C-alpha cells in the first residue's frame, strides 16, 4: 500500500506553492483524505492529478474542460508508480498515458508532461514541454536521456531509444545505439529489425551497415554479413574494422583472394605512420 503524502511532501515533490495547492483542492480537482489531526493526506493519484491540473491551468485551458479531463484521467491511473514507469503526454486535444508498453487516452488540452521516479523514495521529476515543440526536439531529448542511461541501466536506455525513434524514425544515432544494446542483450532479431528499419529511413550509413554485419556474423549468417560489410566500405573505404572482419570472414567462406585483399588493406590503414 502506497503511503499517503502530506502537504509538505506535495510542495517538495511537485514544487507547488501552498497557496496553489489550496486553490486546486478548493476547485475540486482532488479530494484528499484527512489524517488524525484533520491534516490533508494525498495519494499518488492525487499527485498526478494536481500537477496535471496546474499544467492545464497554466496553459489557459478552461476550468470545465480541465475538470472533465481529470475525471477521466483519474479513473485510469494506477494506485502506485508502476515499475515500468509512467508518462502522461498530450498532442492536440488527446491525453496519452503510457505505462510500460501499453498506453491509453483521456481528454486534455495543449500540454505535455512526463513523470519520472518514485514518489515513495522522495524523487519525482516533472518535465513540461509545449505541445507545439518540434517532433525532432522531443526525439533528441529521449536520445540524450538514453545515452546517459546506457551504463547504469541498459534496459531503461533501450526503452528511451525506442521512444526517441517513435518520435523520429530517421534519428540515425538512436537506431545505431539501440541496435547495439539489443545485440549485446542477445535480442538479435529485434536488433536486426532496428538496423534494417534505419537503413530504409536513413540510407546506407557506414557505421550502421558495419554494426549490421557484426550482428549477422553472430547470427551465423556469414554471406549476408559480408554483403553488409561491403556496403559499409562503399560508404567509408577506410573503415579498418570492416576490412579486418571481412578478411576473416572471406577466409571462412573459402575466398582466400578476397581475404588477403581486405587483410592487406586493414594492415595499411592501421600501420604506424612514419614521421
Per-residue pLDDT, 272: 81
pLDDT of residue 86 exceeding 60, the answer is no
Query: Residue 227 — φ and ψ, nearest 5°?
Result: -65, -40
Place of cell 550502421: 208
Model confidence over 129-175: pLDDT tens digits? Answer: 444 444 445 788 888 888 888 888 889 899 989 988 988 888 999 99
**Span 188-201, mean pLDDT?**
94
Find all residues with CB under 8 Å of 231, minimum gap 6, and list them.
204, 209
d(CA 257, CA 233): 17
Share of the chain above pLDDT 70, in %: 67
Instruction: Give the closest residue to 144 by CA, choosing from 120, 115, 177.
Output: 177
112 vs 142, higher pLDDT: 142
Task: Work out the pLDDT band at 125, boundaries 50, 70, 90.
Answer: very low
Q: Where are the domains of the chain?
A: 7-129, 135-270
- Compute the 3-state secondary structure of the chain and give helix, strand, coil in percent, each to the nearest 5: 60, 10, 30
Per-residue pLDDT, 36: 84
3-state secondary structure string across 84-146? CCEEEEEECCEEEEEECCEEEEEECCCCEEEEECCHHHCCCEEEEECCCCCHHHHHHHHHHHH
Find all residues with CB under 8 Å of 268, minimum gap 6, and list them.
none
Q: Residue 217 CB: number of other CB atoms within 10 A?
A: 19
Find all residues with CB under 8 Å of 135, minimum gap 6, and list them.
167, 168
Q: Which CATH class is domain 7-129?
A: mainly alpha
d(CA 21, CA 47): 10
Model confidence over 179-193: pLDDT tens digits? Answer: 999 999 999 999 999
DSSP states of 143-164: HHHHHHHTTT-HHHHHHHHHHH
Per-residue pLDDT, 20: 74
Query: Residue 141 — φ and ψ, nearest 5°?
Result: -60, -45
Q: Is residue 236 helix, strand or coil?
A: coil
Per-residue pLDDT, 207: 94
Per-residue pLDDT, 256: 95
Among 72-86, 155-169, 222-236, 240-254, the minimum mean pLDDT is found in 72-86
Q: Does domain 135-270 have CATH number 1.25.40.10?
A: yes
Task: Work out the pLDDT band at 118, boundaries 50, 70, 90.
Answer: very low
Per-residue pLDDT, 65: 63
pLDDT of residue 240 exceeding 90, the answer is yes
Task: Work out the pLDDT band at 78, boundaries 50, 70, 90.
Answer: low
d(CA 125, CA 114): 8
Task: Work out the pLDDT band at 223, boundaries 50, 70, 90.
Answer: very high
**Span 185-207, mean pLDDT?**
94
Find all residues with CB under 8 Å of 52, minimum gap 6, and list them.
70, 73, 88, 108, 113
Task: Work out the pLDDT band at 3, boundaries 50, 70, 90.
Answer: low
Instruction: Give the closest residue to 206 by CA, choosing from 228, 181, 180, 175.
Output: 228
Per-residue pLDDT, 93: 40
Question: Could you tell me the strand order of the sheet in which 86-91 lies?
Answer: 86-91, 94-99, 102-107
Amino acid at each position: 500500500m502506497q503511503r499517503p503524502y502530506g502537504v509538505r511532501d506535495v510542495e517538495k515533490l511537485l514544487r507547488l506553492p501552498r497557496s496553489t495547492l489550496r486553490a486546486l483542492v478548493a476547485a475540486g480537482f482532488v479530494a484528499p483524505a484527512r489524517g488524525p489531526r484533520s491534516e490533508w493526506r494525498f495519494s499518488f493519484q492525487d499527485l498526478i492529478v494536481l500537477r496535471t491540473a496546474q499544467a492545464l491551468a497554466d496553459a489557459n485551458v478552461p476550468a470545465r474542460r480541465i475538470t472533465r479531463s481529470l475525471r477521466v484521467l483519474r479513473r485510469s491511473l494506477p494506485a502506485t508508480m508502476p515499475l515500468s514507469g509512467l508518462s502522461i503526454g498530450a498532442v492536440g486535444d488527446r491525453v496519452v498515458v503510457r505505462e510500460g508498453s501499453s498506453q491509453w487516452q483521456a481528454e486534455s488540452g495543449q500540454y505535455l508532461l512526463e513523470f519520472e521516479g518514485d514518489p515513495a523514495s522522495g524523487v519525482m521529476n516533472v518535465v513540461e514541454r509545449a505541445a507545439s515543440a518540434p517532433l525532432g526536439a522531443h526525439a533528441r531529448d529521449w536520445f540524450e536521456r538514453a545515452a546517459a542511461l546506457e551504463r547504469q541501466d541498459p534496459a531503461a536506455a533501450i526503452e528511451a531509444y525506442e521512444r526517441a525513434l517513435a518520435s523520429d524514425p530517421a534519428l540515425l544515432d538512436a537506431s545505431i545505439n539501440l541496435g547495439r544494446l539489443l545485440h549485446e542483450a542477445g535480442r538479435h532479431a529485434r536488433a536486426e529489425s532496428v538496423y534494417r528499419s534505419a537503413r530504409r529511413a536513413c540510407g546506407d550509413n557506414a557505421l550502421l551497415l558495419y554494426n549490421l554485419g557484426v550482428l549477422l556474423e553472430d547470427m551465423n549468417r556469414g554471406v549476408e554479413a559480408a554483403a553488409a560489410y561491403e556496403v559499409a566500405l562503399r560508404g567509408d573505404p577506410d573503415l579498418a574494422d570492416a576490412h579486418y572482419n571481412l578478411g576473416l570472414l572471406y577466409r571462412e567462406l573459402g575466398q582466400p583472394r578476397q581475404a588477403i585483399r581486405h587483410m592487406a588493406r586493414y594492415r595499411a590503414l592501421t600501420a604506424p605512420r612514419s614521421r
